[in-house]
Structure 1
Amino acid sequence: MEQILGELTVWHWLALGLVLFGIEMMTGTFDLLMVSIAAWLTGGFAWAAPEAYAVWQGQLAFFGIAALALIVIGRTLLSGMRNRGDEHPTLNKRMVSLVGQRGQATGDFSGGNGQIKIGDSVWGAEAADRMVPIHAGDSVVVEGARMTTAIVRKV
């Protein structure tokens, strides 16, 4: 084992970093990214450190410390990068994207249901407050959505 470890070179660390980076791209765990960076840093250490420190024991110690430090940094300081937020929370959710928009009733609402026009589209709608009558031409604002129906209130 010592004979194998004694032959560690810069290229071994760079290759290890590349393999770990490839696995990271497939899994998306973010932790392997930190370990791959530690491997690349260890390659730099093996290349630049004095011969007395760049022996295999020094390389493994440097790699272990660097990997541990980078994982801790990744889990604490860079933890916000791990959370994936929707870039477009209303993408492919057309009814949700209508919330807050104003439109006009195309006809009288009967039983609290009717249709509204927003822009050049006509949508099925339901009155948020069924006690307030909505008539043709009344301005409404979309308060929410239920399936393919907009929940509206009279402005």
Structure 2
Amino acid sequence: MRALLMRLLIALGAIWTLPNTLIGLLLGAVGLPFGAHAHWRRRELALVFHKWPWGPGGAITFGNVIVHTGDDLDSPCVTYAHRAGHGAEPPIVLADHERAHVYQYLVLGPLFLPLYLVFGGISVRNRFERAADRYARTGRGWWPFSQS
């Protein structure tokens, strides 16, 4: 019964965040003629476009789509706090970080992008990024408005 309820909540979240997912699909599709390729990652609940040919490197999530410039989403990366010099932290796995954003999108839907921008965009100050790093480190705490 619990598994069925979880599937239902995920399906409702996917519908709720569909406008964001469409942005990701459009962005990812633009890279296909230039070498990007896509596949479904069940664990991330997302379609991942790998080898997206533009950008500074890394990944960005839009709804249930992750656009990734590299070959392997399971690669190590540094946290935002580590990159900003706020202390030494061990590397995290990029897939775990991006999965946290997928969860955030499933709950917040079309509210995600405006809230993400209000809270600082792509920066160490952004509670969404700190929560995604926390989740990638510990497997808990993906919700940006919790302190765990």
Report if TM-score (shorter chain) is over 0.5. Answer: no
Larger Rg: 1
Higher relative contact order (CA 8 A, sep 6+): 2
Q: TM-score, normalised by structure 1?
A: 0.26
Q: Which has the larger helix fraction?
A: 2
Query: Which structure shows the bigger proportion of residues in strand conformation?
Result: 1
TM-score (norm. length: structure 2): 0.27
